[in-house]
Structure 1
Amino acid sequence: MSDSVQRDSAVLVHFVLKLEDGSTAESTRNNGKPALFRLGDGSLSDGLEAQLVGLRVGDKTSFPLAPDAAFGQTSPDLIQYFSRRDFVAAGEPEIGAIMLFTAMDGSEMPGVIREISGDSITVDFNHPLSGQTVHFEVEVLEIDPDLEAPDANTVS
């Protein structure tokens, strides 16, 4: 176990993710359940990982991440137009609703209903926080935590 976060560490953290207007988009403190991330597995942006590397247990830090270092820029290629008849089985969509769509490869992708105009429905497949600078507050709780159940024969 390392005494600081490395590029391949698993790290247990509490974090608060805030938008530029100061509103909280997500917080592990609200539900009292810290998040476990593994650096290098592709689940975190390179920018976020770079901020975590070198931190130690007990460290608290806050930092902004520009769109390119966080959730990416908004891509017009990820805005798609559908016909209302494509939604017959799912029911009438509402603006702002997040729906799951099945991609050609069978995977599911969330899309946000952005506009309904006549027979046309606009769906945005960009990450909801794309194009935004976000602010993280992070507290490192554990580095490479033991994820195995404790051995019943171990005496403490």
Structure 2
Amino acid sequence: MSTQVQPHSAVLLHFTMKLEDGSTADSSYSQGKPALFSLGNGSLSSELEQQLLGLSIGEKKSFSLPGDVIFGKHNPDLVQYFSLRDFTETGIPEIGTIMLFTAMNGSEMPGVVKSIEGESITIDFNHPLAEQQISFDIEVLEIDPQLESQNANING
């Protein structure tokens, strides 16, 4: 069991993500339970993992990262154009509305209504926080020894 977060640690932590205007985008406190993250498995960006490395149980840290580092860079291919006819059942949405769309494979994807011009509605499927600066407050609660030892066995 490690006393510090390592490159393949599983980390139980509380976090709060805030936007530039100070509003809370997400928080494990509001969910009523801490979050478990496994470093090195691709679920977190390398820049976010770097902020966690070396932290100890009980340690708190505040830092900021650009949203595109966490959620991916803006991809123009994820901006799609729809006809007003596509919204006859739901009604014409307002600009800024986040709507769920069903992809070809059956999964649901959120899209933000960016503009309505004539018969065309522009929907952006990029992550809505990708273009913002995100502030984090984290507290490391536990470094999971069981998952850590499994990773150690796999890697060496």
TM over 0.5, shorter chain: yes
State the distance in 2 between where 1:41 and 1:119 align: 44
Is the CA contact 2:66–2:130 (under 8 Å) kept in the aligned structure 1?
no
- Alpha-carbon shift at residue 32 of structure 1 (Å): 2.6
Is the aligned partner of 1:96 residue 2:105? Answer: no
Cross-structure match for 1:77: 77
Is the CA contact 2:98–2:110 (under 8 Å) kept in the aligned structure 1?
yes
- Matched ranges for 1:35-114 at <5 A: 35-114=35-114
Task: Look up the SS of the partner of 1:104 in the other structure.
Answer: coil
User: 1:30–1:107: structure 2 CA closer, same or farther, 3 Å change rule?
Assistant: closer
Cross-structure match for 1:151: none
Matched-pair identity in %: 65
Q: For structure 1, which segment, 21-30 or 65-74, has the greater mean C-alpha deviation from structure 2 after superposition?
A: 65-74
Is the CA contact 1:95–1:115 (under 8 Å) kept in the aligned structure 2?
yes
Is the CA contact 2:68–2:74 (under 8 Å) kept in the aligned structure 1?
no
Structure number with higher helix proportion: 2
What is the TM-score of this pair, normalised by structure 1? 0.81
Is the CA contact 1:10–1:38 (under 8 Å) kept in the aligned structure 2?
yes
What is the TM-score of this pair, normalised by structure 2? 0.81
State the distance in 1 between where 2:79 and 2:105 align: 19
- Alpha-carbon shift at residue 48 of structure 1 (Å): 0.6
Is the CA contact 1:72–1:131 (under 8 Å) kept in the aligned structure 2?
no
Is the aligned partner of 1:25 residue 2:29? Answer: no
Query: Which residue identity lines up with residue 108 of structure 1 in the other structure?
Result: E
- Alpha-carbon shift at residue 2 of structure 1 (Å): 2.1
Number of aligned residue pairs: give it: 147
Cross-structure match for 1:154: none
Mind listing any 5+ residue stretches in structure 1 that lack a counterpart? 148-156
Task: Look up the SS of the partner of 1:51 in the other structure.
Answer: helix
Q: For structure 1, which segment, 131-140 or 20-29, has the greater mean C-alpha deviation from structure 2 after superposition?
A: 20-29
Q: For structure 1, which segment, 24-33 or 50-59, has the greater mean C-alpha deviation from structure 2 after superposition?
A: 24-33
